[in-house]
Structure 1
């Protein structure tokens, strides 16, 4: 879902990585875009995207299924927390391998901003949809018969209302991702926490309106398994447009006149502790 970065006091990246690259990375990627890059086999990236998307969708949609089947024991705040924590832990788990997109809208937004190679976009999106579909299928196998509830997303009100809400919350999400996960001046070590918290907040207030998808794969997987496609176009088109807008708006404010030495020196409050 997010490409994570982190830098140490010397301007080199620490435990988390920005823009994980391989030999297919476009030539316009520079060390200014990513201070440290290393080769990760493309198949490892794809497996990481499938696994990451699977566990993200399984955790989030399972919380919905449990809430529907067991007297709302999870509650709506509980569902919001589950989605947020699931995003956070998966970003920290595989962000250094695949960039932890888990979301076709995020992948496309990175590509249009020249932060991700276009030739890898189809494979990434295919893996994200596969992971989401497998997760939805697993949930359906676990909750059968009367417990088989649709855990996808459908508009609670009008299509226009849900379209607007999905656009806004995905814009918000991608704006945060662009800020904390792709800007060398940000606190890169906390990128997963920031992105997960944003998802939690979005689900908290937008869930009752649109389902708070923010992710075409999250809506498409359960729709394919349950054969329920009502309003699905909203959850494909609106998040893609919202993510594009969020990424481009952040790019308008990204640039700075500060020298690189000053930027990397102040990039994180975690780096200076214990130093004179």
Structure 2
């Protein structure tokens, strides 16, 4: 199983408490960068400039490591919070005759994404979406061996959150189901484009050391809000197969559900690939350092 590695943070001054930036140290832990080789070192410790010797290093300093179990636990809780918040808003909107409005729905989903990235990004990378996990794996930012476990955690969290909402808001769960109100072609294109937008931004803040990783939660949350304002009334602006799957199971509504299983992953892979193609290369590096929403 790939393990996390460490390297000095050279992208920007550190800001405590923000995703992608160290909390108390200049070291960054990269969950997506399991093959990072940007700095030479002995492989057992961290290179430092010591008064003892110009080539000395700190021995027996353990590398920060997060077990797969902890990652899956954080991914489950984070996805639960996201699905609960993003689905509850349209349900409340339905129950109380438009009290939330489209702007409220967008804000709920965007804020849910932001707070989950800020709170769990340093543990699991805060994928929260099979489209993100698959796109990162395709672009070699994430190990394929962990993809099934991540997707299972996301799917189970979505189902649990949806049935929790069903118990709380019954019989208004239908308001949280993403069903297209436009033609199949239009719905597919909309879901493809908005997921493309999302992964273009996610790939920028999660894999490029020159992007503002310290503001990753805000950038991704704002992108989710923008996408919902654009496509929310047409497709529900899912961008996420498990955002659709859980509520569909709980409500028993599977109308044109295949769109949300095909368009978001395709848009995600395309968006991640396009940013990877246009981003600046690391100067003097054969391998471009990659990172996620994790911090040391």
TM-score category of the 2 structures, normalised to the smaller one:
0.7 to 0.9
Preserved contact between residue 150 and residue 226 of structure 1 (Cα < 8 Å): no
**Alpha-carbon offset, residue 256 of structure 1:** 2.6
| Residue in structure 2 matched with residue 213 of structure 1 by the alignment | 238
| Corresponding residue number in structure 2 for 1:189 | 214
Structure 1 residue runs of 5 or longer lacking an equivalent are 265-276
Partner of 1:135: 161
Superposition pairs of residues 84-233 of structure 1, within 5 angstroms? 84-145=110-171, 147-233=172-258
**8 Å Cα contact 1:170-1:239 kept in structure 2:** yes
Separation in structure 1 between the aligned mates of residue 282 and residue 243 of structure 2, nearest angstrom:
39
Q: Deviations over 1:87-115 (max 9, x none)?
A: 00100100000000000000000001111
CA distance in 1, matches of 2:218, 2:75: 19
Q: State the 1:8 CA deviation.
A: 4.8
Among residues 1, 9, 14, which one is paired with 2:22 in the alignment? 14
The 1-side partners of 2:96 and 2:170 are apart by 14
Distance 1:17 1:239 in 2: 30
Structure 1 residue runs of 4+, over 6 Å off?
none
Match of 2:86 among 37, 57, 60: 60
1:237 alignment partner in structure 2: 262
- Structure 1 partner of 2:37: 30
Q: Is the CA contact (8 Å cut-off) linking 2:173 and 2:247 kept in structure 1?
A: no
Q: CA deviation at 1:257?
A: 6.2
1:84 Cα shift?
Answer: 0.6
How is 1:65-80 mapped onto 2 (pairs within 5 angstroms)? Answer: 65-80=91-106
Query: Which has more helix, going by share of residues?
Result: 1
TM normalised by structure 2 equals 0.78
1 CA distance for matches of 2:284 and 2:219? 26
Alignment of 1:42-53 (within 5 A): 42-53=68-79
- Structure (1 or 2) with the greater strand fraction: 2
Per-residue deviation, 1:14:
2.0
The CA distance in 2 between the partners of 1:66 and 1:210, in whole Å, is 18
Query: Is contact 1:60–1:82 with CA below 8 Å preserved after alignment?
Result: yes
RMSD of Structure 2 on Structure 1 (CA): 2.5
Once residues 175 and 207 of structure 1 are traced to their aligned partners in structure 2, the CA distance between those partners, rounded to angstroms, is 19
Deviations 1:197-219 (A, max 9, x none): 00000001110111100000100
CA distance in 1, matches of 2:213, 2:31: 14
Indicate conservation of the 8 Å contact 1:67/1:73, yes or no: yes
Gaps of 5+ in 2: 1-7, 15-19, 40-45, 47-62, 290-296
Q: Which has the larger radius of gyration?
A: 2
Q: 1: CA distance between counterparts of 2:182 and 2:209?
A: 41
CA 1:97–1:75: 2 relative to 1, 3 Å? same
Please, what TM-score do these two structures have when normalized by structure 1? 0.83
Deviation digits for residues 23-82 of structure 1 (CA, Å, limit 9, x no counterpart): xx85x44347xxx97310110000111100001110111111111001211111111111
Preserved CA contact (<8 Å) 2:206 2:213:
yes
Given that 1:87 and 1:196 are in contact with CA atoms closer than 8 Å, whether structure 2 keeps it comes out as yes
